[in-house]
Structure 1
Amino acid sequence: MCRTGDLRQAVLARNDAGAQALREELAARGTVVVNMLSSPGSGKTELLQQELTLARTRAVPVAAITADLATDNDATRLARAGVPVLQVLTDGLCHLEAAMVRRAIDGWLPAETRVLFVENVGNLVCPASYDLGETLRVALASVTEGEDKPLKYPNAFGLAQLVLVTKADLADAVGFDEAAFRAHVERVNPGVEVVLTSARTGAGAGVLLDRALAAQQGTPQHRPVMARTQDPALTHHHHHDDGHTHDDGHHHDDGHQDGHGHDGHAHAEHGHAGHGHGGGSQHRQDAPTPVRPLPGHPSR
């Protein structure tokens, strides 16, 4: 009889294999993926919009996928930058997976794209477990969320190759302790770069684009090593040969522990039964927004 742990490992192993294949295929055409993780309201969309606008100003061919449970609000905002943008609706699923990214870009991603930014679902738990074929993984946190975020979400920050702090202009007003935040990041991810940004003042503008282009040009990226402490919250991980560490907190038994099923399985939390995930809306400045459905998950 197959155990839940075995199923979980199989699900993540399949995702990792697909992610590695996607990474290699995109690298062969000169494209890298940047996976952006944060909680809702961190300012991720605003920062990305500014980076996309900067890329267009510099004539750097980039594109963006933004994922959400519902609405295409984020894609509408990002499309103002004047670059190709695709909205993926996850139909209640709390994260993206490599297969979803592959289906999204099929026939859509321009061949000359150097950087594909993926704005993951606003969540610091589920997305941390899934490699999307990225070359650069970025974790973001706003100063309004407090200094303990890296300790509360050690997988999200512990696997990051770049940490961005947003809304830095509000740091004094909310009493943000930068030194404490940096110490907490260092605890879960020694040596990772931490950069303060502000969409309002322009602090840190271009850092994300610059790091993405460096990755695209082959600059070696930070290799996270999860901090080993006596704190159980920082030790529940399993490791893969590709250098990624994944959260053991998500149990897959034909579906997620949180009630979200895959590939036509029931979605207990949201009441969906038999639905596949993924709806795509393509946004351009010069045309109405067409909607292109994306197929659901392949059966497991």
Structure 2
Amino acid sequence: MCATCGCDTHTHSHSHSHSHTHDHGEKHIAVEKDVLYENNLLAARNRGFFDAKNILAINLVSSPGSGKTTLLERTLTDLKDTVNFSVIEGDQQTTRDADRIHATGTKVVQINTGKGCHLDAHMVMHALQGMHPHENGIVFIENVGNLVCPAMFDLGEKERVVVMSVTEGDDKPLKYPDMFHTSHLCIINKIDLLPYVPFSLDKAIANAKRINPKLEVITLSCTSGEGLDKWYQWLESKKS
């Protein structure tokens, strides 16, 4: 079990006794610190790699069903003639999302985490070694759908983008503050469904800003295309 979040991962496997002593608690904290320390060292290496090749690395995080794979598909299709993209696709099982990305003509590497609920810097480093992403391009890292554990793991990205949708509830930032606090941009997706769901854009944005006053917010719909231009402008501003 990964001591940091309680999930099984391929890269960090720790066994725990069922003791509930004070000593056990101290060991748990020590292992957690060790896991995050090792992860942060590797994240720094990934960051150095991205910087050396002038690659904009973006960690896409969300809960399941927010539409981040659809957002990626739309982005890759619309901008592939002007930007060199590569994608690292994280899922617990199957290659379905990676297959969707591959269909756009984009270079993609699939990482299956099994029971693991997040990507870590070690997984990303191995993916990069097999991928050879384009210099001066953009690497999207689509994390496992989870708003808790991925917040703790730096992957070496330059930007962290949290995606939520209007079908999830406008209190999402208050329920998962760490993820919104560590992100640079919040995308509120599926705004074409606003007439049909009890969701307040104003409340959602206010809640997100309450957690992170510096957080940028873009509202869009991959179905209607509304707001996608703002997302593309944001990407261009971060790439230059």
| TM-score with structure 2 setting the length | 0.85
**Match among 109, 118, 135 for residue 141 of structure 2:** 118
Q: Distance in 1 between matches of 2:229 and 2:125?
A: 27
**Counterpart for residue 24 of structure 1:** 48
For residue 209 of structure 1, report the CA deviation from its aligned partner.
4.1
Any runs of at least 4 consecutive aligned residues in structure 1 with deviations exceeding 6 A, and if so which? none
Identity of aligned residues (%): 39
**Counterpart for residue 71 of structure 2:** 47
**Match among 159, 165, 173 for residue 150 of structure 1:** 173
Residues 1:34 and 2:34 are matched in the alignment: no
For residue 210 of structure 1, report the CA deviation from its aligned partner.
3.5
Count of residue pairs brought into register by the alignment = 216
Over 3 Å counting, the alpha-carbon distance change for 1:170 and 1:210 in structure 2 is: same
For residue 161 of structure 1, report the CA deviation from its aligned partner.
0.1
**Match among 78, 98, 114 for residue 75 of structure 1:** 98
**Amino acid of the structure 1 residue aligned with 2:165:** S
Contact kept, 8 Å, 1:136 with 1:212, in 2: the verdict is no
- Matching of residues 72-221 of structure 1 within 5 Å: 72-112=95-135, 114-217=137-240
Q: Distance in 1 between matches of 2:87 and 2:29?
A: 34
For residue 109 of structure 1, report the CA deviation from its aligned partner.
2.5
**Counterpart for residue 5 of structure 1:** 29
RMSD, matched Cα: 1.5
Deviations 1:96-144 (Å, cap 9, x if unpaired)? 0011001011032233351100110001011111011100100011000
Deviations 1:12-58 (Å, cap 9, x if unpaired)? 1211121122112211111121001001011110011111112213x
Q: Distance in 2 between matches of 1:31 and 1:66?
A: 17
5+ residue gaps, structure 1, are 218-300
**Counterpart for residue 240 of structure 1:** none
Q: 1:21 is paired with a residue of what secondary structure?
A: helix
Q: 2:144 is paired with a residue of what secondary structure?
A: coil
5+ residue gaps, structure 2, are 1-22
Deviations 1:160-192 (Å, cap 9, x if unpaired)? 100000100001210211111111101111131
Greater Cα offset, 33-42 or 2-11: 2-11
Q: 1:45 is paired with a residue of what secondary structure?
A: helix
**Amino acid of the structure 2 residue aligned with 1:133:** G
Q: Distance in 2 between matches of 1:48 and 1:32?
A: 15
Q: Distance in 2 between matches of 1:197 and 1:109?
A: 31
Structure with the higher helix share, 1 or 2: 2
